């Protein structure tokens, strides 16, 4: 049975990560077990320099993606720590088996191509406990990202500030 999928949708920088973290507090108060990862922005002064990974169950944090100059048109402009993908994948798979809610932030261009965090969500598991997934989804890629699940059951749209 497919979990109830909530998509927190918006453009880059509108606060999807912050909104997801706010959604978790009342779920924890209900006694639900929550796992997964969020990718907060990393700043040096006022400059956005990349993203970290944070385990929502433990608060463990690690460096993940750092900005780099683009090499060609359409380049992602990030250097990813390859061990970060494995670290995140385990923090997605484990709560699928052991928690009530799985959180994945952020689903962007890699996920629209079926890469990034998507394999950890599509991997068949013999015993899946999580009945709810909360995904942060880039607005411009929403249809492609959510296609493997037939879309979201609930959509929370965060408009860009004016």
The per-residue pLDDT of the chain, averaged, comes to: 93
Tokens of 66: 């750092």
Domain total in the chain: 1
The domain that holds 88 is classified in CATH as 3.40.50.300
**Sign of the torsion formed by the C-alpha atoms of 102, 13, 156 and 21:** positive
Q: Which domain holds residue 92?
A: 4-158
Tens-digit pLDDT profile for residues 3-37: 999 999 999 889 999 999 999 999 999 999 999 99
Q: Residue 95 pLDDT more than 80?
A: yes
Could you tell me if 99 and 133 are in contact, meaning their C-beta atoms sit under 8 angstroms apart? no
Measured CA to CA, the distance from residue 123 to residue 125 in angstroms comes to: 6
- pLDDT number for residue 46: 87
pTM: 0.92
Q: Provide mean pLDDT across the span 83-89.
A: 96
Percent of all residues in the chain with a pLDDT value above 90, rounded to a whole number:
78
Percent of all residues in the chain with a pLDDT value above 70, rounded to a whole number:
96
Tens-digit pLDDT profile for residues 98-136: 999 999 999 999 999 999 999 999 999 989 999 999 999
What are residue 53's DSSP bridge partners? 62
- The gap from C-alpha 130 to its chain's centroid, in whole angstroms, comes to 16
Q: Residue 89 pLDDT more than 90?
A: yes
Measured CA to CA, the distance from residue 11 to residue 141 in angstroms comes to: 10
How far the first Cα of the chain sits from its last, in Å, is 40
Measured CA to CA, the distance from residue 153 to residue 4 in angstroms comes to: 6
């Amino acid at each position: 049975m497919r979990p109830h999928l909530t998509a927190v949708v918006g453009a880059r920088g509108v606060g999807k990560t912050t909104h997801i973290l706010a959604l978790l507090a009342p779920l924890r108060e209900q006694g639900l077990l929550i796992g997964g990862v969020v990718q907060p922005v990393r700043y040096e002064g006022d400059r956005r320099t990349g993203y970290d990974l944070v385990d929502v169950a433990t608060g463990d944090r690690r460096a993940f993606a750092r900005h780099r100059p683009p090499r060609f048109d359409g380049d992602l402009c990030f250097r990813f720590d390859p061990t970060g993908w494995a670290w995140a994948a385990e923090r997605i798979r484990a709560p699928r088996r052991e928690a009530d809610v799985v959180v994945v932030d952020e689903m962007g261009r890699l996920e629209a191509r079926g890469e990034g965090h998507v394999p950890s969500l599509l991997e068949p598991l013999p015993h899946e406990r999580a009945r709810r997934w909360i995904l942060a989804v880039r607005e411009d890629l929403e249809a492609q990202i959510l296609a493997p699940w037939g879309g979201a059951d609930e959509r929370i749209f965060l408009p860009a500030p004016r």
